[in-house]
Structure 1
Amino acid sequence: MRPMLPGLSRSTSPAAIHANRFIIAMTVTLASVLELLDTSIVNVAVPHMMGTLGATLDEIAWVSTGYVVANVIVLPISGWLSSQFGRRNYFALSILLFTIASMACGAATTLESLVMWRIIQGIGGGGLLATAQATIFEVFPQKEMGTAMAIFGMGIMAGPALGPTIGGWLTDAYSWPWIFYINLPFGIVALLLTLIYVPDSGLQQKAERIDYIGLILLAVGIGTLQTMLERGEKQDWFQSGEIITLVIVSFVSLYTFVIHELETEHPIVNLRIMRDGQFSAGLLYAFLTGAALYCTIFMFPVYAQSLMGFNAFQTGMFILPSAIATAIALATTSKLVARGVSPKVLIVLGTVLFCYSMWQHNHFTTESGAGDFFWPLVLRGLGLGMVFVPLNNLAMSNVEAIEIPGASGLYNLTRMLGGSVGIATAATSLGHLQQSERLHLVEHLAGNDPAAMGRLAQLKQILIGRGIPDAMAQIKAYAVMNMQVEKQVTMLAFAKLFLWFGVILACALPLLALMRHNRYSQSVDLH
């Protein structure tokens, strides 16, 4: 048995683990929520950080980029690290590192120290997601796996959604350091519960030697890829020498990494798991699901705040019913899967609901309000919630129990990369769509369109009625018309983007043909 901290005791017998399985699930989910919350909570505090630290927008962006890059580097190797140090010790150390770094981030007085501690925070946080999922897969019997994954899924999907709301409230009510200090009490609770309840894996095997070459190649490849995705839009993509360099370095590093991992005897990431067609199809589905999830979480707040004029807290309240709907869907689908309902049926139904929601998003207008957002957002939450548990079960159903930590790391990494690629693509596409729609609308104005000219004359008369001279009223009418055109252009661009998000998830449906439901092919019931 591994050493314990003084004053803490626990039973690692199969009976005790089984009795405490729901406490274990909530413990590892709490830690995962903290990790995911911090991927988005800083975004609303960026202007305040810039003012306090005297940083430019490009400089302060590293507060977010450094955290995410550290996350995605650690994710795929979390299974290997868990085997090296013991799963319980590694999970506890990750929470401790994350919590200490959170306190240091809040106390940072320079940009350099804040970025450094955010990277350390990301290293700690990256070890939480995959280790949490692997722990759940091992401590729960197969028949309760749907319920366990529903508990985990609530945290996975609620964390990124609630980040901007909580961050906005803390920043407005107190100050930006509190978006980091809020982690301290929850981190301490998660750490204590981990030390008391979370068991070591009964299946892990320590590698005979460390694959340093694979570790370096992975860190460079994933780090440069994520940096490219984070900075691409700001640097105008392939018009920038920096972005081109990042792409080349990432491609060469990852290509070499794959070859090395397939040939070495003790790989740091076991890519041989991907020989299972069902798991590989699940990875691709997870990539597209991640794109749909993170894109909608990222773009709707931008739409609500920049176009509709709502603040962060109001936007968060709009999103709250969606998060509740997701929790309901997760709980319901877990029960249905446990009772033998086909995961494929649930995934198809969830995808249809999500696509219908995006079709409703496509019909938002500049006059839309809170009532118009409610049902589309609820259906979005229900759809994504219905996909999460069945997809996890299908993807992992053929994976051997001993390979689950590594497979879980790859699965979560793939979903996060899907989100990163999706957000980067959406941000770029929004600009292109705005330009296209602007050209289309300006054609009507330039061509003396009767409706446009009538609106312009109406605006001019309103301004004249307010006592503005004729010549000045004409200029102001054009200015007001231009503002209305820009607002309409942005609205049309967002509408098309929302529709594309539905198409993205719909494109994943054919992958279900490569996957079959095998409820008892994998037994991780050690009780």
Structure 2
Amino acid sequence: MNSQTTPATPAPLTGIRFALGAFAVALATFMNVLDSSIANVAIPTLSGDLGVSVDDGTWVITMFSAANAVSIPLTGWLTQRVGQVKLFVAAILLFVITSAMCGIAPNLPVLLIARVLQGVAAGPLVPLSQALLLTTFPKNKSASALSLWAMTATVGPIAGPWLGGWITDSYSWSWIFYINVPVGLFTAAVVWALYRDRETPSRKLPIDTVGLISLVCWVGSLQIMLDKGKDLDWFNSPVICALAVFALLSFVFFLIWEFTEEKPIVDLRLFKGRNFLGGTVAISVAYAVFFANLVLLPQWIQEYLGYRAMDAGKVTAPLGIFAVILAPVMGKIMPKSDARILATLAFLGFAGVFFMRANYVPNLDAYTLVLPTLLQGIPMALFFVPLTAIILSGLPHDKIPAAAGLSNFVRIFAGAVGTSLLTTGWSDRTILHHARLIEQANAYNPIYTHGIAQVQSTLNVGASNALAFFESGLSAQAAMLGLNDISWLSAVLFIVIIPLIWITHPSKDAVAGAATAGGH
């Protein structure tokens, strides 16, 4: 909390209380991040068990992200209303309850309702975990506190896919949610025991109800439109048209209301600042592309390469290795470096990784799959902290809480939207490549006829089975070409948004601002 609401900063924890407190708070961050990635590899299995398509199963990820994005702007108001520690513990307990609801969900609608509630509960966890860590460490160790937070946040991509795959293959997808119950209860108990006497003051505050309702309306309708657009043939569907109109009108009303409201729930005036505008757009687009590909890759590996969920997790798990190794290094080099250079290097690194993936070929080996994922950890380490420093640099102290909340809202919602758009794009490109490939499959093409004959001879099967085998291979190749297109587009997007970084002018207080934001 800022100085207006906190009369005195609590003394740092020491000894065993310090170690246990830092571990518990970091564990809450880990639980939250883990839950956003652990479901990725389980989507094909989960969808099959619930009797829905994989595209519908992806709602499990996007609805969580959308709900999480909506709840983040409420964190500042709720913190002042009930207190930092009470809100953090309450959010953890609600996360535990909704995780159990996800596990016992009998069908997709019930699961989605539980995931929405889980996303709402997760909203305050990230900013409040940063805040509590900053009060746990001495003030001159703020960079170390944020490095610990960043390290635990990046362990999720390592553990999530592998753990999710192992649980799904060995037990049931329900257990990827049940695992949060003991972890959450332990974390809540430790945090309450150690931090309840360090509670921040609370006071009654009015809430921008109209702004909140309009925010929920346009975010919800836009997300549903994006997720159902492909199934309903986009704007040939009256439902999609109605959702689009409603989302647009709600968004326009939201903009007008928030710009004129004295105490808006989302302070859009922050976008008038060059650093905030450039940094927020850059980090949001980058996160959208990164997160969407993190969802698509395990699906492709399982559906078309025949990997088990656990094996798909092993392929994607190396993502966080370099990110964890380099996280402490970032804490040391950030104060001595230009954040714009570090962010540019991160975007170039991401572009290089996606260009590697844009050249996949049939029958690729595990090494070819793993290498780009492993290397992606390097730009991950250069990604969040420098851009956060850019976003918050030069802002008045009393504006930092609102700026941190708004930039996180835009980033997380962009992740949900990006997942929907790139999932649809992958499907469309796969269909296009399938149509182009099938054009060559005719009796006048000697390569095709020879291939069918060879399949019949090798597998000792009839013509119909040979055709089915051929169709399976053709579909897999079309999906690979579609994913290559998405990877190429992703690489280009990372290059295109680099100029956004260089319209900013980081000031000397950038790193301090990033640290201060953790307190809100």
Q: TM-score range by the shorter chain?
A: 0.7 to 0.9
* Partner SS state of residue 232, structure 2: coil
Question: C-alpha displacement at 1:461, in angstroms?
Answer: 4.5
From 448, 455, 460, give the equivalent of 2:453. 460
Query: How many equivalent residue pairs?
Result: 508
Letter in 2 for 1:392: T
Match of 2:373 in 1: 377
- The AA in structure 1 aligned to 2:453 is K
Q: What does residue 407 of structure 1 align with?
A: 403
Query: Residues of 2 paired with 1:456 and 1:355: CA distance?
Result: 40
Partner of residue 120 from structure 1, selected from 112, 117, 120: 117
CA contact (8 A) 1:69 1:227 kept: no
Alignment CA distance shift 1:235-1:157 (3 Å): farther
The separation in 1 between residues aligned to 2:107 and 2:466, in whole angstroms, is 47
Whole-angstrom distance in 1 between the partners of 2:435 and 2:50 = 40
Match of 1:429 among 425, 432, 439: 425
Identify if the C-alpha distance between structure 1 residues 461 and 373 changes in structure 2 by more than 3 Å, giving closer, same or farther: closer
Distance (Å, rounded) in 1 between the aligned partners of 2:327 and 2:202 = 33
| TM-aligned CA deviation for residue 459 of structure 1 | 4.3
Q: Does 1:16 align with 2:9?
A: no
**Residues 19-418 of structure 1: pairs in structure 2 closer than 5 A:** 26-42=23-39, 45=42, 66-108=63-105, 114-135=111-132, 144-159=141-156, 162-198=159-195, 206=203, 208-338=205-335, 340-418=336-414
Alpha-carbon distance in 1 for matches of 2:42, 2:124: 25
CA contact (8 A) 1:434 1:489 kept: yes
Aligned to 2:493: 504
Is the CA contact 1:366–1:488 (under 8 Å) kept in the aligned structure 2? yes
**Are residues 335 and 479 of structure 1, via their aligned partners in 2, closer, same or farther at CA, if it must alter by over 3 Å?**
same
**CA distance in structure 1 between the aligned counterparts of 2:405 and 2:317, rounded to whole angstroms:** 29
**2:471 aligned residue (475, 482, 485):** 482
In 2, are the aligned partners of 1:358 and 1:502 still within 8 Å (CA)? yes
Q: Is contact 1:73-1:223 (8 Å) kept?
A: no
Q: Which moved more, 1:228-237 or 1:299-308?
A: 228-237
Q: Cα deviations across residues 438-494 of structure 1 (Å, max 9, x unaligned)?
A: 343344445945xxx2453254145346666xxx44x55444443333222222111
C-alpha distance in 1, partners of 2:410/2:394?
18
Residue 133 and residue 381 in structure 1: after superposition, are their counterparts in 2 closer, same or farther (change >3 A)?
same
Distance in 2 (alpha carbons) for counterparts of 1:462 and 1:61: 35
Q: Secondary structure in 2 aligned to 1:492?
A: helix
Q: How far 1:403 moved relative to its partner?
A: 3.2
Does the CA contact (< 8 Å) of 1:94 and 1:125 recur in 2?
yes
| 1:297 maps to amino acid | L
Q: Does 1:519 align with 2:489?
A: no
* CA displacement, residues 102-155 of structure 1 (integer Å, 9 cap, x when unaligned): 234434557665554433322211221233345556776786554433333334
In the alignment, is the contact (CA less than 8 A) between 2:65 and 2:412 conserved in 1? no
For the residues of structure 2 that align with 1:494 and 1:285, how far apart are their CA atoms? 23
Query: 1:188 Cα deviation (Å)?
Result: 1.7
In the TM superposition, residue 17 of structure 1 has moved relative to its aligned partner by 5.1
**What SS does the corresponding residue of 1:154 show, helix, strand or coil?**
helix
Query: CA-atom RMSD, angstroms?
Result: 3.5
- Give unpaired runs (5+ residues) of structure 2: 1-7
Q: Could you say if the C-alpha distance between residues 174 and 307 of structure 1 is closer, same or farther in structure 2, counting changes exceeding 3 Å?
A: closer
Change beyond 3 A, Cα 1:270–1:456:
same
TM-superposed CA distance for 1:297, in Å, is 0.6
- Quote the Cα distance in structure 1 between the aligned partners of 2:68 and 2:172: 25
SS of the residue 1:235 aligns to = coil
Quick one: which amino acid aligns to residue 480 of structure 2?
A: M
Residues 157 and 251 of structure 1, relative CA distance in 2, 3 Å threshold: farther
Query: In the TM superposition, what whole-angstrom CA distance separates every residue of 1:19-69 from its partner, at most 9, and x where no partner exists?
Result: 877765554442233223333444555676678777788987765565444
Q: Does the Cα contact within 8 Å between 1:25 and 1:152 map onto a contact in 2? A: no
Q: Separation in 2 of the partners of 1:481 and 1:501?
A: 30
Q: 1:347-386 deviations in whole A, cap 9, x for unaligned? A: 2222222211111111221121111123211111211221
Letter in structure 2 aligned against 1:186: V
Report the CA distance between 1:183 and its aligned residue. Answer: 0.6
Given that residues 165 and 312 in structure 2 are in contact (C-alpha distance below 8 angstroms), is that contact kept between their aligned partners in structure 1?
Answer: no
Q: For the structure 1 residues 87 and 434, does the alpha-carbon distance in structure 2 shift closer, same or farther, using more than 3 Å as the test?
A: same
Tell me how far apart the structure 2 counterparts of residues 208 and 282 of structure 1 sit (CA, whole Å). 30
Give the Å deviation of 1:325: 1.7
- TM-score normalised by structure 1 residue count: 0.84
Identity of aligned residues (%): 29
